[in-house]
Structure 1
Amino acid sequence: MTRDVIIHDIRGKRTCTDADFPLAIGSGPQADIRLPDTQADATFAFVARSESHIFIQPADEALPVFHNEQILTESRWLEHGDVLRMANSTVRYESGATSITFMVDVEVVTPAVEPPKGPPPAPPPVLKGPQSSAAQRPPTRRRVVTWVAMSLFLVLVVVAGFVFLATSVSVQITPTPDRVSLEGTWPGIKVGERLLLIPGVYRLRASKAGYQPLDARVDIAGSGHQTVAHVLDKLPGIVSFVVRPDVVATVRMDGTILGTTPLEQVEVSPGEHEIAVEADRYAPARLSLVVRGAGERQSVDLVLSPLWADISIRSRPAGARVMLDGKNIGQTPLRTEILAGTHQLVLVREGFDSASTTLQVVANRAQALAEFILVESDGQLSLETTPAGANVTVAGQFRGRTPVDLRLAPREPHALTISKSGYETIERQVRVDPAATTKLTLTLSPRYGTLFITSLPVDAELYVDGRLHGPATGRIKLTTRAHRLEVRKTGYQSFSTTVTPRAGVSQEISVTLQTIAQAKAAARKPSITTAGGQILKLLEPARFLMGASRREQGRRANESQRSVEITRAYYLSVKEVSNQEYRQFKSAHASGAVRGKSLNGQSQPAVLVTWEDAVGYLNWLSARDSLPPAYREAGESFVPVNPSTIGYRLPTEAEWAYAARYAGKAQARKYSWGNAFPPTGSAGNYADSSASTLLPNTLSDYGDGYLVSAPVGSFAPTGPGFFDFGGNVSEWCQDFYAVYPNAANTLVTDPVGPATGRHHVVRGSSWRHASISELRLSYRDYSEKSRNDLGFRIARYAE
């Protein structure tokens, strides 16, 4: 709450605000509280406010300021009734509930007067007569009684006024002090255990042996009984700390550092305290200390427990350096203090192997370790040979190949054997000194053998151990060790072998090089297996005639003959892709049914598959076998990657036709079962007599046992082992469909069909076909949609 500040000085009465602080006390126009009769423009002190409390601060040491008759040397809080004196003026400070007041008074200085130097004049003569007698007459008895009565009345009035204005006050000080006083503007009257005091500001002072003296301000209000209660604080106790053994230790009390030992006569407040003592290499000590206080002296005696133990270390021979956790701590014999815990102890002496152990140290438990027996260090033999790479054995045990550094027991003979294929063996006896290196260099004597080499072609070159030797055909002398021989000629597959000549024995080697094409063909696998388990067989490059002659019964106009050459070997799956295999790619695929007859069996061929579906499966299968894809996406379809890769793909029409009609045969096949129509026996899955109620055209005298598609590979293979080129389901080819009139006399190499188109080629008959035209292997069809009798098989280039 903000209180008004009222100033009474030589300028009269005025009121200040918070904005006027601090107030200057002095003379001159700049003073806020102006004093009379002081030197011009002097400032004695400043009055300021801090959080609604008023304090005074001296302004100039040369102008003394007295606060309650005590000279003011620093800032001091102001209390109600305080008196400030500066020069001949005083300022009284009064504090009320709603205002504070500064009253300026001027002291009245009594002038110094002296009597005249001459004698005083004679007194006037005493007059005699009635007047003189009346003046000297003593007072009468009545006048005395009147004066006494008036005095008693005045006393009663004063007492009645005091009682009316006084407040009942009880003073309670714990413990009971030896001396107590309550001083103020008005003296109090003690009535029993209470005091009657006029409201105002008083100062309560109390003292007791062993306790801090009490000096407190007491504000006595003017209403009701008031109790003043205080508790005397005990003087601190005097505590000394003694630590054994006599080491420098840090003493903490309640987490605060008191100092380091020796620590004596420390003043500590009364009560319970937590003491902690810490010293290097000793366990911390802790205790609870109750300080009695009142100046009483107490001593704390602490015994610290060491965190180390005495360890004795000996070695034979002596003089070994002792390394503790990598640090040198002395030489054997050694007795030393080691901290508790697990340590790595190593003894090192020149000319001897180091000795080490894991040392467990328990605090304050001495140990005498068993004597370390040091073993002389091995010597080292640094062995080199010309040529390098010779085998080295010591006492029959293989120790490496030259150049080699051998660790050997000192001062002992060692049987050394050095051998290298093609060179004479050397045997030596060697000795080494402890912790010393002996160098030994030996030259090996070679042994030779003779080779006679003939090669075709005769102008091939011979490389020995990677270096050109000369013409391959001829006589060559080599050391009796393993050599790598290689016969090379441009355009031919190199031949290489490893041979070890024998001393005194001639050897003959005959080499015939293959051309690159011959070598590649020989290296190709006759069959491969995909990640899906399908077997693909190898078909070599070939030249053949596609299509059918005009005179062939059942020939269609789109079967014009073409001369074709396939220049790249390729693999082709022996069976069509089954539902089970295709569902590894698309698990929800359904091949459907025909009038209740299922096409959905796991081993039946996958149908209702578009050309794009088949290509997507083949790219997926390539990824499983870590092969590059054979197709890339082009809008909503796919196109072959150019240049072509060895990823899985659909066969070209030419590859399909060669495999179906020519592979494994001297002449082209007309039908999958031979050259005569109709089929007999179990030639394949066609529209047989059992399908007469299902299909419009059937083979009335033929029965294959299946109304719709059969499991793949159910009938005898054709050619080198391919199944279902005729019957079961027709098959997608890679080519866009086109016709090729008048192409019989023009050789076409590796045809792949037109670059664009709407329909793709479909080859082979299915379970729906029965006519002589459809069952021929030269029959050509096309489609842009899936069918329930159209599937596919897998192809890929061999390289």
Structure 2
Amino acid sequence: MMNESEQNSVETTKTSSLNLDAHIKTAQRKGASLYVVGGGLTLFVLAVFFLWLFIVKGFVVIINPSDARPSASISLSKGLGYVSDNRFYVFGSRAQLMITAERFETTYLDINESTPSTLDVLLTPSPAVISADLSHLEGETSWYIDDKLVQVSKTFEYSIAPGTYLLIADNPYYSDWTSVLNLERGETRQLELDLTRIEGQIVLNSVPSGASIFVDQRVVGQTPLTVPLAAGQYDIQLQLTNYETLEDNIEIRDDLTQPKRNYQLVPKKGQVQVNVSPAGGVLLLNGEATEPGLLSVSVNQKHQIRYSKEGFRPYQTSINVDLQTKDVLNISLEKMIGEVNFTSNLPAQVYLDNKLIGMTPQIKALQSLPTKVEFKREGYRNVVQTFTPKDKASINVQAKMLTEFEARRAEGRPLFVSTLGIEMKAFRPNAFTMGSPANETGRSRNEHQVKVDFSRSIWVSRHEITQAQFAAFDNKIPKSNKPLTMVTWLQAAKYCNWLSENEGLPAFYRIKNNQLLGFNQDSKGYRLPTEAEWEWLARKANRASATKYVWGNSDRLKNKIANFSDKSATGNQFVLDKFDDGFADIAPVGSFKADRAGLFDLAGNVREWVNDFYTNTSPNTVDVQVDYLGPLRGQQHVVKGASFNTGKFKDLRAAKRTIGEGAKNDLGFRIARYN
């Protein structure tokens, strides 16, 4: 067990230990603070060193010329940095440097990563300024420096690099001013110029002379006169009794010191009122066109006046006007009248300016004006002419009346049928007896013998109308050189009328609503051949006497004389024994030789429609029928000729006639017309 003294000793020892620990901790805290402060200072120093080493960039500026250096000043206009004398430091990679010096132009330098550390800068000297004021002088002054025009003005201000120059001031009214100028940099030179005025003179003449001369409204004398004047511009007036005041502006200048003028004074104007009837003509005053009304003319002079209008006798006179009297001139023109005799080869209606005046011949008194006359006659082309009657004389205006067809032929235009490839041949038929005699082998009872004659020539197509020729009228038809078949009589008649229309001929057939109303027998339009014409062509044309067949009277049939039903059709229909034409059916037109009349395929190939009606009524067989058209009426029409289907010899006779009962595959047509 510990005694009291030992306990006290132990407590004292514990107290001493505690105090020592406290001192140690206090010391430790003080040391740590010192370490922190020291470390911070070290880091700051290192940061400043790093910034200086890697971010701040220094430059040296060398300024030229050397005389600019004493007054030179360097500063940063953009970016961060520091300037000291001719050195500067930039924080970052970009900045702008401004350099100034007295009497030198301010210079700016852009600094970037590629800028070298030493910069040579050449400053530009400030320009000199020349100024002068000549606004008190007349005219614009041209300013030249070393013979080069730099400005045109009354006041002069010009900047130029320092140096020595020749300055010239050139004013058109003054002698040139010249000076040599030595100019320093930044110098302003104010010039005082004393220019000498150029002297000259104006020479003035007038016709007539004796006119008073005013120069800038001041009387200086009468023409002719020479007036001495200083260079400049002057307003000139010349005044003379009974003459108009003359005004001018004359300039005396360095390149024209003695201008000269020769004036023709204009007499003062008087007035004359000119009235004209009828209006709309041409009024000439001294040969120049003018308008009627109040005219101004020179006084005390003769003036020629002429007024004219087409269709009227012109009027001409001379007048003399004074200042005190206003003259009035009334002009009334008389019509020019001439006699016109209108004639034509056939009686025709005469229309003047679209108004009917009667039938030819016709005589009219008409005014001498361009006039249109039109001659008209039914069935003929209108004739239009323009003429001008002659004053107090007689003229003839004659028209040649032509049918449209004749007119086209006279113009040299081709026949429309020719453009389609249709070849026409002319014939002059003569009297013969159509039909067949009672004793002719193979005749039919309807082959009546009719005596016929012809008063008119005819045109007939040498070939049957082809598919291609009909296709121009009806484009549904295929185009080929074979004869058109499967065509009705009415379709053939319409085709004929269509040809007539395009040829300028009156239609032969009167057709309305697909009905035949009749014939125009006087027409020269296209039509089908009459039965009499067809039979005359087949039997009589170019023959001494009428024949039985197209080829003559022989009952022997030569091969290839025409297209009939030959041996190629054996077993299908009647055929002509031992006959060969080379075609099994329809042949192209012109495949066989022409007959004696110069026509093709009249004997065969396809049968042909003719113009005549077919009736069972017996015709007049006693009297001669002239231009016979057959019966006047009927329901069907006559078909003539044989075809590639014909296999009986009796049906090859030219007198053979059958009744047409519509379109057939072996039935076509050819065309004809009166000449």
Q: Which has the higher contact order (CA 8 A, sep 6+)?
A: 2
TM-score interval for Structure 1 and Structure 2 normalised by the shorter chain: 0.3 to 0.5
TM-score using structure 2 length: 0.38
Structure with the largest fraction of helix: 2
TM-score using structure 1 length: 0.33
